[in-house]
Structure 1
Amino acid sequence: MNLMKNWCMNLSRESMWEWTILWRSNLSAVTPIRKCLQSCRRFRMNDKIAIYLRLSLADGDLKKGSKDESNSIENQRMLLHDYIGKQEDLFGEIVEYVDDGYTGTNFNRPAFQKMIVDLKQGDIKVIMVKDLSRLGRDYIGVGDYIEQIFPLMGVRFIAVNNSFDSMKLNNGTPGIEVAVSNLVNNMYSRDIAKKVRAALETNWKNGKATCTNVPFGYVWNKKGGQRWEIDPEAAPCVKKVFELALSGRNTTQIAYGMNELNLPTPGLYAKRKNLLMGSNPIIAPDSEMLWNAAIVWRILRRYEYTGALVMGRRKKIDVNTTSVRTLPEDRWIIAENAHAAIVTKDEYYQAQKAIRNVTPIQYKVGDDFALKGKICCGNCNRQLRHERQYGEMVFYCGYKRSAGKFSKCYGGYYREYSVNAKVARAIKTVFYALDVVNQGMQEKQSITVRCMDIEDLEKQAEAIRVEQIKLYESYADGVLRRDVYIEKKKTLSEKLAALQDSIQTEKEEQECADELDEEIRALTKQASEKTYIGGLTKECVDAFVSMVYLYDDQTMKVEFNCEDVIRRALEKYGA
């Protein structure tokens, strides 16, 4: 019966009914074939087996000469496929999800997240891993998936080497051995993290850098050795900053001087050289990437320019999180004379006098306003500041204040009540467009017509299939010659293929239309709920506005997060 099942799953749809006809004279053989075909077809349409493969950098598989065969991706794949082949209750389409080089201490892994998305869509019924450590080493997170998420989604989970199969649990919850295994995996991760940290600290003390970003003014040494060398293009900019500081200028005056000399900022230089920038680079035009006091301050505070390597400024709070904390300076690891110096130590300490003692920023508590996080300068694309001036709340470009005359940004204030009123009027145009679309939806019934078209095409396709069966029966009874049968069969197959393509195209268009109508209905519901009686509300802005750009006190651009939906709807239903 297993051989019959494997054979049937390899049959094409067309050959299935032909074999059924050939076995029609033998009912004892037809019955198991029909049942097998039905079960195979049903399983293949609905159920998939997901095998999850993971290898961490710490597992050693990515280094030649120290390959851990037990954890290699190839070994995991072979073990799981072999296990599936031996189980009679596991058959169907196998889908692989591979995270090669990702830690198991958290679940921020692309293939794992893709598997969870497919799981929510109901495409997966079985998830298999080599052992529990491949799923993850965070024992709390792994326990949540095994005990709550997977059972809630109706998914069977199997960890082969742990002999764990959720379908075979007696009381519906994993035993103590699974909890112990998860705890051991978590402890193993903590131990590995400590060893990795110790290895990094050893390299740092020996003057070897391990960070991805290199300070402005340096590049990686072409000879290797995890060391830096002076960048002949950028180093003069750093040298100039220290020269201006030694001349008695403060950070604001230094920034003014650097802009007068038209020297590139670290961000502009990295952009031009396609170098790695910070995690959240400002998307600003090149003309607005100017020097300011903050950039100067960061350069003057970098002890690395004296030739020392400074590492270990931050440390992860826990192995199972990506959050880090800044360590006090006495816990930093500093290796003197690790690379060539751009300034001397005396110059570095003298330049610190240019940095004035600044009062720490007093962050406002509860400073919430309707356009918070959605209002930018139209020239430099940076967030506008929001504060009280002359008895009223205003917006202004803080970058303009720091860059001075070299920036082309608007230097005045934008009154908040005036900006809110203009945005409110813009939102009213969206509501008006929704009214036009809804009226058009009521007048047109194109979806119903299209459904009728699909039903007609499917009836035509079914008639051709019946004709194919009759044609084959005539050939099997000897009524038709083989060459005539082949010719007619080819003609019918071509007609059927054309009809199936038409049906698929119509269904896709219908799905797109259904999605568009659903989005319009959702927007209409939001429009009815999000009002701005008594003033513009943050809820209304968050629902419809993507970003607001202010260019001067008269020019504004409002971007809506539903522009594309309304545009397509107006093209379909508009007058």
Structure 2
Amino acid sequence: MLSFKEDIKSMRKAAIYARVSTEKQEKEKTIESQIEELRRFCERNGFLIIKEYVDDGWSGETLARPALDQLRDDASKKLFDVVCIHSPDRLARKFIYQGLVIEELKKKGIEVIFLNRPISDTPEDQLLLGVQGLIAEYEKAKILERTRRGRVHKAKEKGIVGSVPPYGYNYIKKSREREGYYEVNEKEAEVVKLIFDLYLKLQSLHQVKKELYKRGIRTRKGGLIWADSTIHRVLTNEAYTGRGYYNRTQSIETETGKKYRKTVKTGRRLRDRKEWIPIRFSKIIDEEKFKLVQELLRKRFKPFGKSKNFYLLSGLIKCARCGYNFCGEGKGDGVSYYRCNNRHRKYPLPKTCDARMIRARELDDAVWEAIVKAVTNKDILISHIKQLADKLEENERELEERSRKLKEELNKISQKKEKLIELYTDGIIGKDQLTAKMKNYEKEENEIIREITEISMKKEQISLKPKVIENLEKFCKIMKERISSLTQEHRQQFIRYLVEKVILDSNKRVAKVIGYIPIGINEELFSQSESGILSMPSWNHGQCPNNWFKFELEVKI
């Protein structure tokens, strides 16, 4: 007969994974109930829970989820033998994603168990798992379509959808005698009228915001500072003329550049006007006044990227004093400037940065000249890169020492975890104490691993290898041949390709240009197409893959 200690050591190590999306679907379990069921399952089956992974509010349509990624990383470290999940649709909504993760875990010798239907490796059970995955996809599509059709039907038949009304209205709940409806909120309606009148007078969202702040008029949530977007939404909402619309926009997938997104479809797009469904509202604003405001907004509105003046470094300049962006601004004297955006971000509160304006032409010319000098002369470029590598090398010993200490800490935590299991095995501590302590150790462990990874990335930038120098020489040769023929727009395109950011101290009139040079390059990379567009691959500034080398330039203006 096994002793208590031997019995504990023979227990299989388990991980729990739970997920709840933001969709309130019928019969969907909450995070708490999922975890509780999974814990009871592990206890019944003699599993020792090593870690719980929870994605609360993350869509099952994507695999890029923080807790799921952590689980997959930890699987490689052999932290557990089995993963327990409530049902396949909690792992992923798409069958192909379910199969991908399950196969990945199986290759690492980890079993996946679903509570609602344990799956074996028999062809019949694998077929059933596939069918369950497909059904989950179908059910979600069915629920979304039913919900959409239900709302469209309600909008068409009853002229109202939703219980959260636009600013200026209250929602009166339905009763046995009548349907719900929107009623004018007299206090908010006066603010709506004021916003329209102020805009007609001041013709500036910023000035309207300032006036609302001065008068102490609060938003619906009680804040004193109105966002430009909120004021713009009020000014463009046709509901105030007594004629609102449902089904105006639809959700679309957009590229945000973020690794993790709770939902896949993060953008909005206007539908064809024929699909819009009219909704009844009580009139607050006269239609002629509304049209006049729309005309003023159209005249003042400039699409993103369109500007009367050209700014070579648009979107790249960061203030060295406060961290906000610099933006281009034209003056009445016909001269354009770069100005710290702190005053807009803090508006209507006082700005917190004393950075001065700087003439755009002076900064553009100084930065462009420095970049041209660097990219057309391999000695200058290699010198700048070597200076950066030397700075890192000076700190290399510190990095090595920090890395060594972190690894020692990691080893100590591992020993503590083993000791903890022994204490539990000997009956000195209870299961609750074991679980709580394990969670704390895992949190420390994850933080240490993150820091070790950052140190490794820094160390990769230190050495200049012959192959890198050869590629830099090739890059400089191509630049020398072609850079003088670049148009104004092509110069901007080229700078955005190489430069991550320009940190500007306008008071001291100095700037630091931080960018990345491609290590692998071909002749066609900077060729000009028939349409006049430079052939340059796009990349996200700040993300430096292995085939780029960081450089820094100090520029005096």
Indicate the TM-score class for this superposition, using the shorter chain for normalisation. 0.5 to 0.7
Are 1:331 and 2:275 an aligned pair? Answer: yes
Are 1:187 and 2:138 an aligned pair? Answer: yes
Are 1:342 and 2:284 an aligned pair? Answer: yes
Kindly report which structure 2 residues correspond to 1:169-208, keeping only aligned pairs within 5 A, or say none. Answer: 175-201=126-152, 204=155, 206=158
SS in 2 for 1:195: helix
Residue 193 of structure 2 aligns with which residue?
Answer: 239
Are 1:134 and 2:90 an aligned pair? Answer: yes
1:309 Cα shift? 4.1
In structure 2, the CA distance between the partners of 1:226 and 1:517, relative to structure 1 (3 Å rule), is same
Amino acid corresponding to residue 330 of structure 1 in structure 2: K
Are 1:58 and 2:24 an aligned pair? Answer: yes
Residue 489 of structure 2 aligns with which residue?
Answer: none
Q: Which runs of 5+ in 1 are unaligned?
A: 11-36, 62-67, 276-285, 388-393, 466-506, 563-575
Residue 304 of structure 1 aligns with which residue?
Answer: 239
In structure 2, the CA distance between the partners of 1:331 and 1:443, relative to structure 1 (3 Å rule), is closer
SS in 1 for 2:285: coil
Q: Which one of the candidate residues 109, 113, 122 is aligned to 1:158?
A: 113
1:539 Cα shift? 6.7
Residue 416 of structure 1 aligns with which residue?
Answer: 364
Alpha-carbon separation, structure 2, partners of 1:120 and 1:227: 56
SS in 2 for 1:52: strand
1:181 Cα shift? 1.9
1:128 Cα shift? 2.0
Whichever structure has more helix as a proportion of its residues is 1
* Count of residues paired in the alignment: 422
Amino acid corresponding to residue 102 of structure 2 in structure 1: I
Are 1:375 and 2:317 an aligned pair? Answer: yes
Alpha-carbon separation, structure 2, partners of 1:525 and 1:204: 65
SS in 2 for 1:200: helix
Residue 13 of structure 1 aligns with which residue?
Answer: none
Amino acid corresponding to residue 287 of structure 2 in structure 1: K
Are 1:521 and 2:470 an aligned pair? Answer: no
In structure 2, the CA distance between the partners of 1:238 and 1:9, relative to structure 1 (3 Å rule), is same
Residue 168 of structure 2 aligns with which residue?
Answer: 218
1:302 Cα shift? 1.7
Alpha-carbon separation, structure 2, partners of 1:509 and 1:108: 20
Answer whether contact 1:106 1:321 (CA < 8 A) is retained. Answer: no
1:385 Cα shift? 5.7
Residue 536 of structure 2 aligns with which residue?
Answer: none
Amino acid corresponding to residue 132 of structure 2 in structure 1: S
In structure 2, the CA distance between the partners of 1:195 and 1:553, relative to structure 1 (3 Å rule), is farther
Amino acid corresponding to residue 168 of structure 2 in structure 1: Y
In structure 2, the CA distance between the partners of 1:156 and 1:344, relative to structure 1 (3 Å rule), is same
SS in 1 for 2:135: helix
1:144 Cα shift? 2.7
Q: What is the CA deviation profile of residues 507-547 of structure 1, one whole-angstrom value per residue up to 9, with x for unaligned ones? A: 999999977863542232489779795699667644xx5x6
Q: Which one of the candidate residues 18, 43, 51 is aligned to 1:95?
A: 51
1:132 Cα shift? 1.5
Amino acid corresponding to residue 198 of structure 1 in structure 2: R
In structure 2, the CA distance between the partners of 1:351 and 1:50, relative to structure 1 (3 Å rule), is closer
1:256 Cα shift? 8.6
Answer whether contact 1:52 1:127 (CA < 8 A) is retained. Answer: no
In structure 2, the CA distance between the partners of 1:203 and 1:112, relative to structure 1 (3 Å rule), is farther
Amino acid corresponding to residue 53 of structure 2 in structure 1: Y
1:57 Cα shift? 4.3
SS in 2 for 1:548: strand
Residue 555 of structure 2 aligns with which residue?
Answer: none
Percent of residue pairs identical: 18
In structure 2, the CA distance between the partners of 1:330 and 1:380, relative to structure 1 (3 Å rule), is farther
Alpha-carbon separation, structure 1, partners of 2:41 and 2:322: 61
Q: Which runs of 5+ in 2 are unaligned?
A: 175-179, 254-262, 331-335, 375-379, 420-444, 484-493, 516-541, 544-557
Answer whether contact 1:316 1:322 (CA < 8 A) is retained. Answer: yes
Are 1:313 and 2:248 an aligned pair? Answer: yes
In structure 2, the CA distance between the partners of 1:332 and 1:81, relative to structure 1 (3 Å rule), is same
Amino acid corresponding to residue 24 of structure 2 in structure 1: A
Q: What is the CA deviation profile of residues 43-89 of structure 1, one whole-angstrom value per residue up to 9, with x for unaligned ones? A: 7xxx543343547643346xxxxxx7xx46566446544554565xx
1:157 Cα shift? 1.7
In structure 2, the CA distance between the partners of 1:220 and 1:209, relative to structure 1 (3 Å rule), is farther
Are 1:254 and 2:203 an aligned pair? Answer: yes
1:435 Cα shift? 1.8
Alpha-carbon separation, structure 2, partners of 1:57 and 1:80: 22
Residue 79 of structure 2 aligns with which residue?
Answer: 123
Amino acid corresponding to residue 523 of structure 1 in structure 2: Q
SS in 2 for 1:175: helix
Q: Which one of the candidate residues 384, 390, 393 is aligned to 1:435?
A: 390
Whichever structure has more strand as a proportion of its residues is 2
Alpha-carbon separation, structure 2, partners of 1:200 and 1:320: 22
In structure 2, the CA distance between the partners of 1:240 and 1:555, relative to structure 1 (3 Å rule), is farther
In structure 2, the CA distance between the partners of 1:263 and 1:161, relative to structure 1 (3 Å rule), is closer
